[in-house]
Each structure stands twice: as C-alpha cells, then as structure tokens.
Structure 1
Amino acid sequence: MDFQLKRSQQLAEHVIVVSYDSFSEENWEMAKSLPNLEKLLQSGTYSTKLRSVYPTLTYTVHTTIVTGVYPDKHGIFHNNPLQPFIPEKDQKWFGIREAIKAPTIYDAVKKNKMTAAGLLWPVSGKSSIKFNMPEVHATGGENLALKVLKNGSAFFCLGLELRYGRYRKRVEQPYLDDFTTLCAVDTIKRKIPNLLLLHLIELDDAKHKYGTDSKEVKDAIVRMDKRLGDIQRAVEEAGIQENTVILVVGDHGQLDVRYKVCLNNLLQEQGLIFEEKGKMQWRAYLQSAGGGAYLHIKEGDEEAEALAFAVLENALKEEQYGIEKIFYRNELDALHVDPSITAMVEAKRGYCFDDRLEVPTLLDLDAIKMKYATHGYLPDKENYRCNFIASGPGIKKNHPLGPLEMVDIAPTLGAILGVDFTHGDGRVLGEIFG
C-alpha cells in the first residue's frame, strides 16, 4: 500500500517511541501475556518479524531508527569508532549528532515547529532535540554527569536529576531504567513533546550477563511491563491519550555464547599486527562487533589485504575459530555495510569475536562457568528478529503484521506526525493505519 500523509493530514499530535533494547521474537510469548503490553496489543498492531540492520549493534540500529537509512548512508557503523589496542571499557563511543551523515526525524520535527524529547537515546548528543538527556559514556576520568549536561539540555537534565536522581545507582539495573522511566513520565506530563524517543536497556544488560533464557531475563521483562504501564498512565494523566501513538520497538536479538574467538591473534602471527618502538601497530585489524567482526586494512596496503584474506580463509576451514562466513566488499554492499570496511566475518551460533590480543585465541566460557550472550550477528538468524508494536488513534486494533524493516520506522513516524520524511531507504507502513 502506497501511503503518505502530508503535514495537514497529521494522524496524531504525539508519538512516544519506546526502544526496548534486545526485545526479540524469543521474548514474545512471555511479554505479550503481561497486562500492559497486552493492552497495547489489543488497541494496536504488531509484528515479531522486524528485521534489524547489519551488524545488529545498538548504536547502529538506533541511528537507522531515526534516519530511515542503512548504516552505509548514516555512517554509524559500530557503537565505537575504530580504536585498535584500546580496551573496550576505555573506548570512546559514538555520541554526537554531528557523526550522523543523514537527516533525522527529530530534525524534521523541529523544522515543522514541533518539539522533540530524548531520554538516553544513542548518538543524540548536541542535537536539535529540545528536551534532551542523551546517552553518553564517560571514559578516561570524565565526569558522567557533566558530560550529560554538556551534550544535552542542561536545565532539563538538571531538573530531572534533582527530582529523580536518588532512584538511580550510576548505571546499575534495574535502577537505571526505573530512573529513565520516571524521567519519561515527568517529560510526558510537563513538556508534552510531539516526539519522545526513549531507550530502556535492562533486558539487553540481563541477556549479556546471564544468558537469553535466565531468570534475570524473565524478571527484566516483568519490570519492563510495569514501565510500559507507567508510560501509558502518564499519557492518560497528561490528557493526550486520544492524540498519542505509542511505538514499542526492539532493536536486535541476542544469542548465547560458549566460545569467544580472538582472531587478531592470527593476524599478529602473520606480522600484520606488530610492536614497533614500544607501540603496537597494525596493517590489518579486526574490530569485533560481537557476532561479526570488521576487517580494517591500512589504506593502500594491498599486500596486507591479501595476507589478511588468506588468514581468514584458512581460519574458515577450522571449526574452532567459529567463522560461519566471510563477506567481501560486493556482498557488504548488498548488506548496506559502511563502505570503509574491507571484509567482514560472521560467527557461527555459539561463537562471538573479541578484539583482544593478550588472551588465548579461543576462550571456552563453559570452562570458567561464565554465562554470556551477545548480538551483532546477521539480522536473519533464527529466532533473532525484533518485535514491533504500534498503538493509538488511527492504528488498526489487534492486528498482526508480517515482516518489517528497521528503515521503515522513521518515515512512519513522519507520517503519523504529518511530516514528510520519505527521502530514505524505508517506506511508510501504511498497512498499520485503519
């Protein structure tokens, strides 16, 4: 169905986007039976087949959600810019709107004289969002609170911190998502934005730490349902229920991992990673994306490229390295992977990749009794697609949908708000309206 709403055909004055991080189809049966999500389903339309982008990393996906284009166009190819040899905990993250190479839906909302709010939305620092508490990461001794103020809306953030900061324990869960939900309720009632972008993270954290089928994951899903109820009540108390659409969107799934594979050790054995004058250097380097890894080659070093390809092709033949497939540039074009990437490796189920050099090439997590899950894999892995719910005025009720694409969300948000945002790779999901 070819569907486009012009500005004068606005469906609703307000849209709340709840990014339910790591909410995938494997969680559907449990989540849909809980009261607040069930309420949204009864009054809305839904799919368990929302296809993410590759690699399925949080910042890459969230940038697609707000731009409606794939990573090869928006430029956020990973959570972190390339930083060889720097430990993951010390790496800088993409955080500033300026890093995004495409228009965003919140920019379009502002141009149409409407207001946007953002709460822990990735890559939104120093953006046009009027009421903004961006997700930022403090590294190298930075003060997190000051970094939030510097990159967000200072007075807005200060007010939220003064009212609700006592409920937060740094970034520990469930306190962080409880705090963010309190901030969302406050923002809905005090600011009544036309667009609210909200990122809730507990489910993702629980899967990473405890595995995908753990008690902690089930507990997180129950708590998340309460948060959805709090948001729905805030909409009612703000008196905007008849003019608000709520979207709940998963960004990726997760898969349980037994083996971490440190493929950079193989590149080092071939002299492509080496020490010179007391510093580590590289001609070829694999940047882990969890279930995938990017191969970076120093510009113009054709010899390094050929050697690196040979290393990976030999590793592909060895079961222990857990490589399912190597994607070369022509295949990466079809997957919309950033053009700077030379090649990419995809992990088999049960495996993931790790950048480190100071550890053995193969780490058996079962041997150290460690539970772990991660993402970054191809979006079409079994039971790995995401869930999507849209509920509110003008939305079909209790209506199941088929497969959707992550790039379709931004133009659909535009259609609901009466903003033309159809320039990108996605389409307006006209089938949800009725």
Structure 2
Amino acid sequence: MRLLVLALASIALPGWAAPVVLISVDGLRPADLHDTGARAVPLPHLRRLIDEGRYAERVRGVMPTLTYPSHATMLTGVSPARHGIGSNLTFDPEFKNQTGWYWYASDFKVDTLWDAARKSGRVTANVHWPVSVGAAVDANLPQIWRTGTADDRKLLAALATPGLLPALEAGVGPYPDGIDESVDADERRARFAARLFALRKPGFMTVYFAGLDHEEHRHGAGSAQARDALRRLDATIGELVASLRQQDPDTVVALVSDHGFSALRTDVNLFGAFIQAGLITVDDRKQVSGWQAALWPAAGSASVVLRDAGDSVVREKVRALLATLAGDSANGIDQVLDADAIARLGGARADYLVLFKPGFQIGRDPAAPLLADSSYRGMHGYSPDVPEMDAVFVLQGKGIGKGSFGSIDMRDIAPTLARVMQLKLDQAEGRALLP
C-alpha cells in the first residue's frame, strides 16, 4: 500500500508543485477570446493558452465590477463585503484624500494568495497588481502613483522591495511610471516580470496589464484602438509566457480579467441633486463643507452612505430623492438597492446602492447639469448581473488538462489556484474548479 501511495504521488505532484504565474489583462472580455467571426481579433498566443488548457466560458464578477475590488477577490476568494476593498477609490465624502485609491494591502481583512503562498514556503513576486503596497511579497513592485511627476518614481522605489527596482532596471531599463496605463508601459512591465521570474524564481507571481482597459475607456470596447491594444498584448503575453517556460517548463499560467465593458454615453450628476436637496453642502470654492448623506462613486454604480444611519428623517429624504430620480427613465437608473440587498450581492457596506443601466454612469462635477455627455466611450462598475461585465479565466500548464469550466464565479479563481499550489484558503466563498 505504501508503494502504491508513493507511485500515485509521483504522478500527481509534479504538476501541482510547479510555479504559478497569475496574469491579469484589465478589461479583457470573453468575446475577445472566444469570438470567431469576421470581427474577431487574431490572438494566437492567448488562443493557445485556451486550446491547451482549461477555461471559463464566462466569469461572473463582483459588486462593483471595478478593477480593485475584482483583483482583491481574485486573490482572496471572497466578496468585497468580506475582503474590505469596496471600490477603486476609498470612501472620501469630503474629497480630502486627493482621489486616493485602495493602494494599500493593509486594507485587506482576510488573507491573500500571497500570504498563503509565503506561509507554505513559496517565494512570491508581484509586478503592478492592484492593492499591493506593503503586501507581504518577497519581491514586490507595487502599483502606486500620485501626481504623475518624477516624484512618483521615488515613491515607487521607496515602497518596492528594497533594492529590487534598481537591480531590475540595470538589466531592463527604466520602469514605467505607475500612472502610465498605456500598452507601451505594459510591454515594459512584461520585460520586468520576465526578468524578475528569472532572478527570483518565485513559486507564485502576479502581473497586471492596464493598456486594454485604458483604450476601452477612451475609445470603447471593440474600437480600432482597443483591437490594436489586444493584438499587442497578445504578443507581449506570448513573449512573457515563452520566457517563463524557458526558465521552468512546468510553469502554470493563469490568465484573468477583472470585468468586461459596456458602451457609455451619459454622465448622471447625482452630486448636484444631493447638493440641491441639502444632503451635501459646499462652500464658495465648491468644496464639500458638510454632508448628511455621501456618495461613493463606482462608475456604473454609486453607493450612498448616511452620516447617521439612525437618522430616520434623513433616511426618508434620501429614499424619496432616489425614488424620484429612478422614476424618470431618462436618468438611466436601473434600480436602487437597500442595505440588505447590497449585503446579499456581496457589496461593501452602504445604506443604498444606485445601479445604472449600461450607457450611464455617475458624474463627478457638482456644477454640471443632471445629465451630460460623457467624456468616456466605455465603462464598467455595473451590476455583475449585466452580461457585458463578464470576465475571463484561463488556466494552462502541466497537470491542468484541457476543456471548459463552463460558467464560474470570480470567487472560484483563488481557491482553484490555491488547489494548484496545494495551499489552504479556508476563507474562500468560491469553489475549487479542479479535483
């Protein structure tokens, strides 16, 4: 019996002991990978991952379908209500945080795959993954920016693993600024990821690319600019995977995205409506000077948080205002959820959640009219029930096998990767997709 167990282990373990590299392409849609019609973009390297591995036909996202909450879920296996990353931007009712994002890993309320991998003895590495500043990662190039000036490079060097950035730049050249979301920057970060993998030989590494999302916001999903970004990213990821496999042929590659995209045309200025209703007050400089109910923007959705949740008068005033706004179909509001419905959806705690229809998003200018043409052509942040918000998951490498996972939940990704790496992630709300 002991010999039989050892023989079975010798068959099963090599595939699972391999390095795992998690690559995220922000805004990559299932249609980008699976469509075969005349409009399909040739993606030979990404198609090879699908053809030789396992893939989801659709990935249902989290609420809101934004970059930071989604990437946090893919690392934890739980919804934003549990992992603590409720949006891209932190809750900032008086706008004092200068558009601060959820950059800091200290905001996680649960363990991540980085934590679990390190506890198991695996070396960890990261290139530009969201919510990574201060993460317990052995070789960390976190995502961070403030102004887009030269000081941002000093900030990144100070927050990265000591000595890591100059050591990599000596062989690869200058690292792109954190605020640079172009495909050019993605191509340079891919070279850093390849170099980092070769030097540190991590057992688990995360890599994030933002260029496709950037073009989809500016020009729309399926635009000529987005299609060109897709072609370039396919080549970039192909080169990165080839480099990884050259270092270790058994490397398991996981390709993910955080959300899909929907066409956008209209900004809905809820801030102006809340100001007119006296729920938010502003001074002569149009700065927020007080609030009874604050808005927490999430593009295709917006949370409403009462300063005093027990104030029934303010609560009724907010409820009535939202009902009036939602009652006019021109405002593009699909539905308004209360706190219980938000909890069932797994969203961050709030008193109300305004869900917009695709084509509409919350505006940010309190001086603008209620409805205004948007400067963006594509957006996300809508309910995960909107099909256009579906994300992708592909897993390929030794021991993974081939075929479809069918439709999955984004919370399934972390426990699946934990199983590949033989890690414990008991907190996960999702299910491991592999036996």
TM norm. shorter chain > 0.5: yes
Deviation at 1:140, TM superposition (A): 9.9
Partner of 1:184: 193
> Do the aligned residues in 1 keep the contact of 2:61 with 2:389 (CA within 8 Å)?
no
- One-letter amino acid of the counterpart of residue 194, structure 1: G
> Do the aligned residues in 1 keep the contact of 2:169 with 2:175 (CA within 8 Å)?
no
> Do the aligned residues in 1 keep the contact of 2:326 with 2:335 (CA within 8 Å)?
yes
CA distance in 2, matches of 1:327, 1:165: 49
Query: How do 1:17-416 and structure 2 match up within 5 A?
Result: 17-28=22-33, 29=35, 33-86=42-95, 90-139=98-147, 143-166=151-174, 168=176, 171=180, 173-238=182-247, 240-241=248-249, 243-275=250-282, 280-299=289-308, 300-339=310-349, 341-365=350-374, 370-397=375-402, 399-416=403-420
CA distance in 2, matches of 1:275, 1:292: 23
- One-letter amino acid of the counterpart of residue 406, structure 2: G
> Do the aligned residues in 2 keep the contact of 1:206 with 1:220 (CA within 8 Å)?
yes
- One-letter amino acid of the counterpart of residue 64, structure 1: T
- One-letter amino acid of the counterpart of residue 273, structure 1: I
> Do the aligned residues in 2 keep the contact of 1:181 with 1:227 (CA within 8 Å)?
yes
- One-letter amino acid of the counterpart of residue 347, structure 2: V
Deviation at 1:234, TM superposition (A): 0.6
- One-letter amino acid of the counterpart of residue 255, structure 1: S
Q: Which runs of 5+ in 1 are unaligned?
A: none
Q: 1:161 to 1:363 in 2, by over 3 A?
A: farther
CA distance in 2, matches of 1:212, 1:391: 26
- Give the count of matched residue pairs: 416
- One-letter amino acid of the counterpart of residue 73, structure 1: R
CA distance in 2, matches of 1:363, 1:87: 25
User: Could you say what secondary structure the match of 1:118 adopts?
Assistant: strand
Q: Which runs of 5+ in 2 are unaligned?
A: 1-8
Partner of 2:428: 424
User: Could you say what secondary structure the match of 1:207 adopts?
Assistant: helix
User: Could you say what secondary structure the match of 1:378 adopts?
Assistant: coil
- One-letter amino acid of the counterpart of residue 102, structure 1: V
User: Could you say what secondary structure the match of 1:117 adopts?
Assistant: strand
CA distance in 2, matches of 1:306, 1:162: 61
CA distance in 2, matches of 1:281, 1:371: 30
User: Could you say what secondary structure the match of 1:92 adopts?
Assistant: coil
> Do the aligned residues in 2 keep the contact of 1:47 with 1:388 (CA within 8 Å)?
yes
User: Could you say what secondary structure the match of 2:70 adopts?
Assistant: helix
Deviation at 1:237, TM superposition (A): 2.0
Q: Which runs of 4+ in 1 moved over 6 A?
A: none
Partner of 2:6: none
Query: Over aligned residues, Cα RMSD in angstroms?
Result: 2.2
CA distance in 2, matches of 1:79, 1:137: 13
Q: 1:361 to 1:161 in 2, by over 3 A?
A: farther
User: Could you say what secondary structure the match of 2:163 adopts?
Assistant: helix
Deviation at 1:96, TM superposition (A): 1.3
Q: 1:80 to 1:172 in 2, by over 3 A?
A: closer
> Do the aligned residues in 1 keep the contact of 2:183 with 2:233 (CA within 8 Å)?
no
Partner of 2:4: none
> Do the aligned residues in 1 keep the contact of 2:181 with 2:214 (CA within 8 Å)?
no
Identity %: 27
> Do the aligned residues in 1 keep the contact of 2:333 with 2:354 (CA within 8 Å)?
yes
CA distance in 2, matches of 1:306, 1:295: 13
